Amino acid sequence: MADSFQELRDILQTGKIPANTSQFSEACYRRLLDALAAAGTPDAPEKGDIAALVRHVLRREDERQGGMPQTLKVPPTYPFPHREIWQQSGIDVLVEGSDYYLISARPWQPNWLDFSKQYAPDKPVFKEKNRRNYEEVVGDPFLELVDRKKYRSVGQREAIRAVLTAPERATLAINLPTGSGKSLCAQLPALLRSHIDGVSAIVVPTTALAIDQERALKPFVNHPTAYYGDESEEGQQKRQEIRDRLRNGTQRIVFTSPESLMNSLAPALYEAASLNKLRYFVIDEAHIVEQWGDDFRPAFQELPGLRRDLLRLTSFTTLLLTATLTESCLDTLETLFGKPGPFQVISAVQLRPEPSYWFAW
């Protein structure tokens, strides 16, 4: 896939958004075009969202061109913002024509931070130089199911192998650094064990995360997997179809919130369990059970009761995924999810090489 900034320029000027954006390897290009394609639908982005996505494209292209500011011509009409929103979003309107704005993005240079004009703090972000030092390792044959040949890290390899060999009623707490591939530790086993039939419930804290994970699995699962509140007719139909597939054991994976799992999804999940179709019960960002579960999102601490009730009907493996596993959090998770056991911890922590630290005295 080859990127063409000029091709993107032409698309934005003509307004002819392609149905398939996979020709662009730059994720920021695809995100912008997908957002523009959603204009006029229930999923339509706000004008501020469009401005942020356009700024990302411009700043990314600036850094690809060695810091040389790049420009775009955009329409002054919906779904693009008006002049004031562009300015508020760190974008300068260089020329205002009768049917277009010529815009350029400003680097972030806060006046309270010394040297920010010489060294813009957001420069490394948009240059996208890889700073993570995880080393890929040779994969197992079943990785071909998700078009991979290597594990992203040793920790990912050991975690996936542990999941695949765990007893069905076991609980595994998987503690891997962000970016080392912990999501696949649930997704790949779930796909492997639902090749014929079977379902896995993966609890995520936000709708955005559910949609991201659905998008990642779209090439491998030919139906929707993100279950979230959408009261449009299409959204209600989608949720009903997911519940139907859960009941007959053909859903494979569902990404959802704890609130949805405890309420509208619960009857379908119980039916799947009664048919011995439930393969994995997964909580992504499992540290939230302790941090959010008392007052903010109490449904997180209701999940252990649902799990215990489902275990009366069938056997499955429980996975607790996190990159933030403190001693207190581990004690809480073992107390809530440790029985009937065994309870196993797979941890591959390391220093994070990505952050930069800027100080203003």
Cβ atoms of 314 and 279 within 8 Å: the answer is no
Q: According to the CATH classification, is domain 137-347 in 3.40.50.300?
A: yes
pLDDT over 60 at 2, yes or no:
no
What's residue 17's pLDDT? 87
Q: What is the CA radius of gyration of the chain?
A: 23
pLDDT above 70: residue 118: yes
Q: Is 60 exceeded by the pLDDT of residue 343?
A: yes
- Average the pLDDT over each of 7-11, 24-28, 284-288, 291-295 and give the range with the smallest value: 291-295
Q: pLDDT higher for 36 or 232?
A: 36
Q: Give per-residue burial for 66-103: e unless 16+ CB within 10 Å, then b.
A: eeeebbbebebeebbbeeebbeebbbebeeeeeebbeb
What is the mean pLDDT of the segment spanning 113-122?
Answer: 86
Mean pLDDT rounded to a whole number for the chain: 90
- The helices-and-strands tally (H runs, E runs) of the chain is 14, 12
Which pair of structure tokens corresponds to residue 152?
A: 């992203």
The pTM score is 0.77
Contact of 312 with 280, CB cutoff 8 Å: no
203 Cβ neighbours under 8 A, 6+ residues apart: 256, 257, 258, 261, 282, 283, 284, 303
Residue 131's pLDDT is 79
293 pLDDT above the threshold of 70: no
pLDDT above 90 for 117: no
Q: Map out the domains of the chain as residue ranges.
A: 5-127, 137-347
Q: What is the pLDDT of residues 207-250, one digit of tens each?
A: 989 999 998 899 999 999 999 887 788 889 999 999 999 999 99
